[in-house]
């Protein structure tokens, strides 16, 4: 026997079979169900938007500029009202799924408010800590050290000769006092990661045992500074070392004075978001 496909929706056929007195109530209930389905869909869409917004706060695989842009991006708009002016107050009680979505949205909204409050805390702490470093490192600033803020982070830029001899990976005699004073200024910090970056000019490395190129040299120098910081008592879980080679110059490598500026070590203070969000 061949079965013909159903030509009309099931609820329409049921409506035809019901007594006339129930047709109006059936149609009213069907309209309410449709309105609730639309509201449920809007809640799902808003939930997904909030999830993407929160995820962006913790996306540390993005570029530094992108992280700061996403960190201070506005939250997504609230879901639109139901279509057709349906009165959801007269609808039946929401399903467990809808109730769960509403509770989840409320929790996410609260989390966003905490993140936004944390942004203000980060800005205040950055300004306060930068001022403290400028005071405590005043004598080093007169010898080639610079403290500045960039893209929501504090940078301490140390000239090459304050830590290393040219084309050498070992700390020089002057570095002992430099590292000690830097460590004293950074002690007590628990709100920032301490990322030590090694930087070089674009002149190839030659005749330096165990060093193949500027990438090696910059990474080995950064590791030396991190070891010295750890020996001075800075928390090791906050310390990171990375070599940037000649990839991030502060000046064109076209003169000796510019190449000297590019040969540097930077201590970058990265805010730990969890420390600023209750």
- Check whether residue 180 and residue 261 sit in a common domain: yes
- Which regions of the chain does DSSP assign to beta strands (E)? 145-150, 153-159, 192-199, 239-243, 264-271
Among 47, 77, 92, the domain-final residue is 92
- Check whether residue 78 and residue 129 sit in a common domain: no
- Check whether residue 57 and residue 137 sit in a common domain: no
| Residue at 194 is within a domain | yes
Q: What percent of the chain has pLDDT over 70?
A: 67
Q: What percent of the chain has pLDDT over 90?
A: 45
Contact 158, 186 (CB under 8 A): no
d(CA 133, CA 159): 17
Residue 62 pLDDT exceeds 50: no
Total-model pTM: 0.59
Lowest mean pLDDT among 27-36, 76-85, 267-276: 76-85
What is the pLDDT averaged over residues 24-52? Answer: 73
Instruction: Rounding to the nearest 10 degrees, give the CA dihedral for residues 270, 271, 274, 278.
Output: 180
196 Cβ neighbours under 8 A, 6+ residues apart: 222, 225, 226, 229, 239, 240, 241, 242, 265, 266, 267, 268
Distance of CA 175 to CAs 179, 211, 234, Å?
A: 6, 21, 16
- Check whether residue 48 and residue 137 sit in a common domain: no
pLDDT value at residue 6? 52
pLDDT tens profile 90-130: 555 567 777 777 777 777 776 666 555 555 577 888 889 99
Q: How confident is the model at residue 198 (pLDDT cuts 50, 70, 90)?
A: very high
Q: Which two tokens stand for residue 116?
A: 């936004």
pLDDT value at residue 277? 46
| Residue at 116 is within a domain | no
- Check whether residue 83 and residue 135 sit in a common domain: no
d(CA 109, CA 143): 49
- Check whether residue 79 and residue 205 sit in a common domain: no
Residue 166 pLDDT exceeds 60: yes
pLDDT value at residue 36? 78
d(CA 174, CA 162): 6
| Residue at 106 is within a domain | no
Residue 208, domain extent = 125-276
- Check whether residue 88 and residue 46 sit in a common domain: yes
Residue 43 pLDDT exceeds 70: yes
d(CA 278, CA 271): 15
- Check whether residue 76 and residue 130 sit in a common domain: no
- Check whether residue 80 and residue 212 sit in a common domain: no
- Check whether residue 161 and residue 259 sit in a common domain: yes
- Check whether residue 151 and residue 219 sit in a common domain: yes
Among 68, 92, 116, the domain-final residue is 92
What is the pLDDT averaged over residues 147-173? Answer: 94
Q: Closest by alpha carbon to 213, among 167, 255, 257?
A: 167
Residue 216 pLDDT exceeds 80: yes
Residue 261 pLDDT exceeds 90: yes
Q: What is the number of domains present in the chain? A: 2
Contact 272, 189 (CB under 8 A): no
Among 69, 92, 115, the domain-final residue is 92
Contact 105, 49 (CB under 8 A): no
pLDDT value at residue 68? 47
- Check whether residue 134 and residue 250 sit in a common domain: yes
């Amino acid at each position: 026997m061949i079965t013909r496909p159903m030509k009309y929706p099931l609820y329409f056929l049921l409506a035809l079979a019901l007594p006339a007195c129930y047709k109006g109530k059936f149609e009213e209930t069907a309209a309410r169900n449709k309105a609730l389905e639309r509201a449920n869909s809007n809640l799902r869409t808003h939930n997904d938007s909030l999830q993407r917004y929160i995820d962006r706060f913790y996306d540390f695989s993005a570029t530094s500029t992108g992280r700061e842009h996403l960190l201070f991006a506005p939250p997504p708009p609230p879901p639109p009202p139901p279509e057709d002016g349906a009165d959801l107050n007269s609808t039946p009680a929401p399903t467990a799924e809808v109730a769960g979505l509403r509770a989840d949205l409320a929790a996410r909204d609260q989390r966003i408010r905490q993140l936004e409050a944390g942004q203000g805390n980060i800005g205040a702490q950055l300004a306060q800590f930068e001022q403290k470093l400028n005071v405590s490192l005043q004598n080093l600033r007169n010898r080639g050290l610079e403290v500045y803020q960039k893209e929501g982070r504090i940078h301490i830029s140390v000239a090459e000769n304050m830590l290393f001899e040219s084309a050498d990976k070992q700390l020089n005699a002057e570095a002992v006092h430099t590292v000690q004073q830097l460590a004293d200024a950074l002690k007590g910090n628990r709100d920032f990661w301490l990322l030590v970056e090694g930087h070089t000019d674009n002149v190839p490395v030659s005749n330096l045992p165990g060093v193949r190129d500027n990438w090696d040299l910059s990474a080995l120098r950064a590791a030396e500074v991190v070891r010295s910081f750890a020996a001075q008592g800075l928390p090791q879980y906050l310390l990171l070392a990375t070599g940037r080679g000649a990839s991030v110059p502060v000046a064109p490598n076209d003169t000796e004075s510019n190449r000297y500026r590019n040969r540097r070590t930077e201590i970058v203070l990265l805010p730990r978001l969890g420390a600023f969000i209750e």
